[in-house]
Structure 1
Amino acid sequence: MSGARPPGGARDPYARLVLEVMPEESRVGLTLGFVRTFGIPEIAAVLHATGQVTGQPKTRAKATGAAMFTLIGHGPGSAEGRRVVEGLRRVHDRPGITPELMHYVLACFTVCPLRFMDEHGPRRPAPPERDAAYAFHLELAGALGLPVPPGDGLAGTEAWMREVERRRFAPSPQAGELWASARGLLASRLPGPLAPLAPVLAAALLDEPLRTALGAPRPPALVRTAVDAALRLRAGRARRAA
Structure 2
Amino acid sequence: MGLNLGFCRTFAVPEIARVLTATGRMTRHTRVRAKATGELMYRMFRHGLDGEEGERAVPALKCLHAPWAISDNAYRYVLACFDLAPLRWCAAHAWRAPARDLLAGRVPGVLRPFAGSAADSLLDEELRRALGVGRPAMPVRAATHTALRLRAATGRVRRRIRGSHRPAGMSMVQ
TM-score, length of structure 2 as denominator length: 0.56
Instruction: Report the counterpart of residue 69 of structure 1 in structure 2.
Output: 42
Asked whether 1:122 is paired with 2:95, we answer yes
Residues 51-108 of structure 1: CA deviation (Å, up to 9, x unaligned)? 222222111111111111111111122222222211211233322x111111111111
Q: How does 1:45-56 map to 2 (within 5 A)?
A: 45-56=18-29
The one-letter code of the counterpart of 1:82 is E
Instruction: Report the counterpart of residue 113 of structure 1 in structure 2.
Output: 86
Instruction: Report the counterpart of residue 199 of structure 1 in structure 2.
Output: none
Partners of 1:67 and 1:101 in 2: CA distance: 18
Unaligned runs of 5+ in 1: 1-27, 139-150, 160-242
The Cα of 1:43 is off from its aligned counterpart by: 0.6
Q: Which has the larger radius of gyration?
A: 2
Residues 189-221 of structure 1: CA deviation (Å, up to 9, x unaligned)? xxxxxxxxxxxxxxxxxxxxxxxxxxxxxxxxx
Is the contact made by 1:110 and 1:133 (CA closer than 8 Å) also made in structure 2? no
Instruction: Report the counterpart of residue 32 of structure 1 in structure 2.
Output: 5
Flag the 1:134–1:82 CA change in 2: closer, same or farther, 3 A. Answer: farther
The Cα of 1:46 is off from its aligned counterpart by: 1.5
Flag the 1:121–1:128 CA change in 2: closer, same or farther, 3 A. Answer: closer
Instruction: Report the counterpart of residue 43 of structure 1 in structure 2.
Output: 16
Greater RCO structure (CA 8 Å; 6+ sep): 1
Partners of 1:98 and 1:42 in 2: CA distance: 8
Partners of 1:72 and 1:82 in 2: CA distance: 11
Unaligned runs of 5+ in 2: 103-115, 133-174
Deviates more, 1:86-95 or 1:53-62: 86-95
* Aligned-CA RMSD value: 2.8
Is the contact made by 1:107 and 1:157 (CA closer than 8 Å) also made in structure 2? no
Is the contact made by 1:36 and 1:108 (CA closer than 8 Å) also made in structure 2? yes
Is the contact made by 2:88 and 2:131 (CA closer than 8 Å) also made in structure 1? no
Partners of 1:83 and 1:126 in 2: CA distance: 24
Q: How does 1:72-151 map to 2 (within 5 A)?
A: 72-93=45-66, 94-95=68-69, 97-125=70-98, 127=100
The one-letter code of the counterpart of 1:105 is V
Instruction: Report the counterpart of residue 105 of structure 2 in structure 1.
Output: none
Partner of 1:54, secondary structure, is coil
Partner of 1:52, secondary structure, is coil
Task: Choose between structure 1 and 2: higher helix proportion.
Answer: 1
Is the contact made by 1:67 and 1:84 (CA closer than 8 Å) also made in structure 2? yes
Instruction: Report the counterpart of residue 153 of structure 2 in structure 1.
Output: none
The Cα of 1:155 is off from its aligned counterpart by: 2.2
Partners of 1:132 and 1:65 in 2: CA distance: 24
Partners of 2:46 and 2:15 in 1: CA distance: 30
The Cα of 1:125 is off from its aligned counterpart by: 3.0
Q: Provide the aligned length of Structure 1 versus Structure 2.
A: 117
